[in-house]
Chain A
Amino acid sequence: MRMDIMLDIKNLHATTEGREILRGISLQVNAGEVHAIMGPNGSGKSTLAQVLAGRDGYDVAGEVLYEGNNLLAMSPEDRAVAGVFLAFQYPIEIPGVGNLYFLRTALNAVRKQRGLEELDAMDFLALAKERMKLVEMDQSFMSRSVNEGFSGGEKKRNEIFQMAILEPKLAILDETDSGLDIDALRVVASGVNALRSKDRSMLVITHYQRLLDYIVPDRVHVLVNGRIVRSGTKDLALELEKNGYTELEQEEAARTSPALGGPL
């Protein structure tokens, strides 16, 4: 059984600029499972994603095991080549660095780690063309600079396209639905669904239940004020959609500071 645990987060804390954002998160994701993390703005969802991907600027305590290895001790690039992928909420524009060149460099770093031969430009182009179809991306994007001048939707497609190229074992999708209209959301979600497999786990971070109509999770966790306050099946997401986060936020407030507790 233990071999099936992809990600094991134990009592994870993260502090930045004197403020504790994650306040003791514990979570297990098995291989092949899709877990959704939901929560109101400021609950720490994006911080969790950033900490798992290795962003500096956080004081981190607790333990995170990825395939049994200490993830927090690894550099961001080591995590990436080991199979961790973060689809950014706000993908970075990098003028002057070609999309194709960047992604081939990244893929070859990953392949090297996996003991595979590096792909040359021709082979890579063939692979890229095939994977772009997954997210209905236009080939002209390949000759452009990384995310430069892309619309919000194009940037999100590019993230999922990169994921399709790098074939991670653990994909963390940080608000991949934000800024997408319904058509773009369908395209992106179907790209993600095509990448679901029994060996690949996903952590889908979202504010809204809407995305989970398309990417149906195995488990749903609700993050409030840096803690997971509720876990359940996909029905939990529907319940949140109906009732909102307010009740859970108030419960959490009451729990952490009883003297001021209770609904106002």
Chain B
Amino acid sequence: MSSTANAFLEGLSRCDEKRNGHHPGWLKGLRRAAFQWVVEQGFPTTKDEAWKYTRVGPILEIPFEPAEPDTSRRLDVGSITELAGDLGGARIVVVNGYFAPQLSSLQGLPAGVTVMSLAAALAHDEALLEPLLSRPFREQPHAFTALSAALAEDGVFVRIHANTMIEDPIHVVFVSDAGALPLVSHPRCLVLAGPGSRATIVENYVGILGDVSLTNAITDVVLDEGAVIEHYKLQNENQTAFHIALLDVRQGRGSRFSSHSLALGSSTARHEVRVRLEAPGAEVTLNGLYMPRGEQHLDNPTTIEHAAPNCTSRELYIGIVDGRGRGSFDGRVIVRPGAFKTDASQTNKNLLLSESAQVDTRPRLEIFADDVKCAHGAAVGQIDDDAVFYLRSRGVPHGAARGMLTYAFASEMLGRLRVEALRSRVEQMVAWRLGGVAAA
């Protein structure tokens, strides 16, 4: 392993020993094994197929410190509202990977829903959590899932019990509050949706202007039979932040999951989504919008695995790349043997706004079963000159005309956001980025 990677790990391992004391035995073992894995295997480079588009090098050059609990002195409930908005339901705040009860508000959650810090859940029901916490590292080890397994200590645990329906979104705000020193945090979020339950989860990642931070986040969602979960992730960290994340989803019979990934912030961000359709009749919809500009790199690897018959997947990712920004979509759909009557479609559309903007798109179908319906497509284009001229010929200034058309390109995705308070917030963010075009 390179000396920069060694120094990087050295910095992170310092806290490990002193905190490991109170963990159950299996967790101590997992943490040790995972850390050992990174020491031995090192960090991925762009030569690794799965990391072809993500720059890990610049992350390793920063002397990150591990985050500690209760270190924030700058946040209050008002500043959280400013950073992340108020979506109407419960709001859970996680600062630097640690649950912050004084900033969270859990009132109004109906009976049948449990929301607590992951650390508390671990003390409470470790047998339930063991397989869940181990899985991302055991099943797809790479340096960041391993670091999470080795170093994550807290986060959020959400359990929606059988047949419980929640109207208001559960809003989870992850704040990177680094302060003077570059800080790394490893928030974990677990969502267990019982049979026939129904809920909306909004994950919102924000940071504080000028801070340098690395968020290494993993969210697991498990849907039992007939559960319906709508998941949103708004990644709006500041422009000096790094963000590496995995959303890992398992779906039971007849369950429905939809994900909306909105990638706006960070200097480099990689948001991976993996969905495994494990039992017949499950449906998944993955939506994504990424808008790199300046020097931003925003990467979106996704894998949908049809492991059972009669499942449906729909995927649409939209990229809008400006400046010297770089975006990527690397989407795999795997149809396992026996997953007959699979119905899968995958689309990636990109708009390049500048000469130096870059996009990589790789839609992939891997089909090992007969009697399936699969389609995929990718497109990369620029703003239509005829449409610009049409708008200008009516008096709309050139810049505003381009802004309107770009907003229109994004609006296909914005229209899919069903949490109204979130949608209008994201609409404003997108409009502001496009030079203040009012939301249509």
A residues with CB within 8 A of B:
53-56, 75-77, 79-81, 85-86, 88, 91-92, 94-98, 101-103, 105-107, 109-110, 113, 145-146, 162, 166
Contacts and interface: CB of A to CB of B under 8 A. Distances in A.
B393 A94 contact: no
Given A96-B407, A97-B440, A102 B398 contact: no
Contacts of A75: 392, 398
A105 B404 contact: yes
Contact of B411 (A56, A88, A96, A105): A96
Contact of B393 (A54, A97, A98, A107): A54
Interface string B278-310: 000000000000000000000000000000000
Interface string B408-440: 110110000000000000000000000000101
B365 interface: no
Given A96-B409, A101-B440, A76 B392 contact: yes
A102 B396 CA distance: 8
A55 B408 contact: no
Contacts of B393: 53-54, 76-77, 79-80, 85-86, 88
A80 B395 contact: yes
Nearest to A148: B408
A109 B408 CA distance: 20
B405 A94 contact: yes
Contact of A102 (B384, B386, B391, B411): B391
Size bracket of the B interface: 20 to 34
A127 to B, nearest CB: 15
A166 B391 CA distance: 13
A97 B404 contact: yes
B405 A166 contact: no
Contacts of B401: 77
29 contacts: A54-B389, A55-B389, A75-B392, A75-B398, A76-B389, A77-B393, A77-B396, A77-B401, A85-B394, A86-B393, A95-B408, A95-B412, A96-B411, A96-B440, A97-B407, A97-B440, A101-B438, A102-B404, A102-B440, A105-B404, A106-B391, A106-B394, A106-B396, A109-B395, A110-B395, A145-B408, A146-B390, A162-B394, A166-B395
B387 interface: yes
B24 interface: no
B338 interface: no
A154 to B, nearest CB: 16
Contacts of B115: none
A145 B411 CA distance: 11
A76 B395 CA distance: 7
Q: Which 5 interchain pairs have the tightest Cβ spacing?
A: A96-B408, A80-B395, A106-B394, A109-B395, A76-B392
Contacts of A81: 395
B424 to A, nearest CB: 15
Given A75-B398, A109-B397, A94 B408 contact: yes
B400 interface: yes
B400 A105 contact: yes
